[in-house]
Amino acid sequence: MPQLATGFRVEQGVPSSCEFEIKAPQLDEVVIAISHFGLNRADLAQLAGHYPPPVGASDILGLEASGEVVAVGPAVSRLKIGDRVCALLAAGGYADHVVVSEQQVAVLPDEISAEQGAALCEAYATAWYNLYEVAGLQAGERLLLHAGASSVGLAALQLARHNHNPVFVTAGSDEKISYCQQLGAEAGWNRHQGDFVAAVQDWGGADVIIDPVAGDYLAQDQQVLNLDGRIVVLGLMGGRTANIDAGRLLMKRQRIQGSTLRNQPLQVKGRIMRALEQNLWPLLRTGDCQVIVDEVFPVTELHTALTRMRENRTQGKLVMAW
């Protein structure tokens, strides 16, 4: 194992290459030699200075990666050197090595490639956590997914389809809507055609809404939310201010909750990863759920890939290869 790793940290709003020391793994930690890492919108927020890593975390960018275990700490019990793995990270993914607790790591199914492994953790962990732990989505409940063709949206769509929840998606093009319908969405709405309220109401309304947009969307969300419905806000693509109808909130017993995954404690991330191993891995093996990779870029094209994500020209995950 080398003593130095190469990675990318933020300098003046852009990712800048650097070298840093690879620390020896402690207790339940493992060292992963990273082959691929996934890009996430949280990375853009960190580059813009709006989403710093949690206290004590690395200043290296990146929330997910795949690779091979090359060293283990003395208390590691689930993993061994040579395991092909994916990792859900608080930071450190934009590097060729990372040190992380084994609780945040899972052995990849044989059916999943390293490229797919780098696209798996953040999307499916976010989808699982917010659908089933935060929103408490129940069988038969109706789900509205904004940014349905994003990596999180596609993961949530497939999980909901498998659990027999009707899904309505919004997205930025007819092509993206069509793709979501191929994966199981009942209906969709192109956001460039105006607000989605009438379309979702005609569909039957929503019991749960996963919203990475916020801003003006929240008032519209309230209008289509059924009695006892839940809105989970995952991002601020539409802005951080919104008008809330307190009367509708009260009389329809609506719940609006913000949710972030990055700064969750280790125990929560470990619980989510074990839930994915138990519930998602079998679906990946049978093909009932897929890991949607839009494109794989060489790490030398990191700036190009980030620009494409910033411009919303994606349908699934962008992945970088060392």
pLDDT of residue 16: 98
Whether 1 has a pLDDT exceeding 80, the answer reads: no
Euclidean distance between CA atoms 86 and 62, whole angstroms = 13
* Per-residue pLDDT, 15: 98
pTM: 0.95
Q: Does 243 lie in the same domain as 290?
A: no
pLDDT digits (tens, 9 = 90+) for 52-96: 999 999 999 999 999 999 999 999 999 999 999 999 999 999 999
In a shared domain, residues 275 and 252: no
| Rounded Cα distance, 104 and 6, in Å | 21
- Average pLDDT of the residues in 11-29: 97
Q: Please indicate, yes or no, whether residues 135 and 244 belong to a single structural domain of this protein.
A: yes
End position of a domain, from candidates 227, 258, 289: 258
- CATH of residue 167's domain is 3.40.50.720
**Per-residue pLDDT at 274:** 98
What was the pLDDT predicted at 2?
86
From 258, 280, 305, the end of a domain falls on 258
Q: What are phi and psi of 153, to 5 degrees?
A: -60, -45
Indicate whether 206 and 277 sit together in one domain: no
User: How confident is the model at residue 181, as a pLDDT?
Assistant: 98
Same-domain status, 247 and 127: yes
Reported as type and span, the H/E element at residue 273 is helix 266-279
Instruction: For residues 115 and 131, state if they share a domain.
Output: no
Answer yes or no: do 250 and 267 share one domain. no
Q: Are 240 and 304 contained in the same domain?
A: no
Give the integer Cα–Cα distance in Å for 145 and 126. Answer: 13
pLDDT-based confidence at residue 303 (cuts at 50, 70, 90): very high
% of the chain beyond a pLDDT of 70 = 100
pLDDT of residue 156 exceeding 90 = yes
Angle at 108 between CA 259 and CA 322, to 5 degrees: 85
Could you read off the pLDDT of 247-294 as tens digits, one per residue? 999 999 999 999 999 999 999 999 999 999 999 999 999 999 999 999
- Shared-domain flag, residues 277 and 314: yes
Q: What is the mean pLDDT of the chain?
A: 97
Contacts (Cβ under 8 Å, ≥6 apart) of 223: 197, 201, 248
Look at residues 240, 258, 276 and tell me which one is the last residue of a structural domain. Answer: 258
Q: Find the domain containing 190 and state its range.
A: 123-258
User: Residue 92 sits in a domain of what CATH number?
Assistant: 3.90.180.10
Looking at the structure, do residues 111 and 193 belong to the same domain, yes or no?
no
Question: For the chain, what is the domain count?
Answer: 2
Residue 27 and residue 63 in one domain: yes
Same structural domain, 141 and 96:
no
Is pLDDT at 123 greater than 90 in this prediction? yes
| Average pLDDT over every residue of 146-160 | 96
Cα–Cα distance, 223 to 249 (Å, whole number): 10
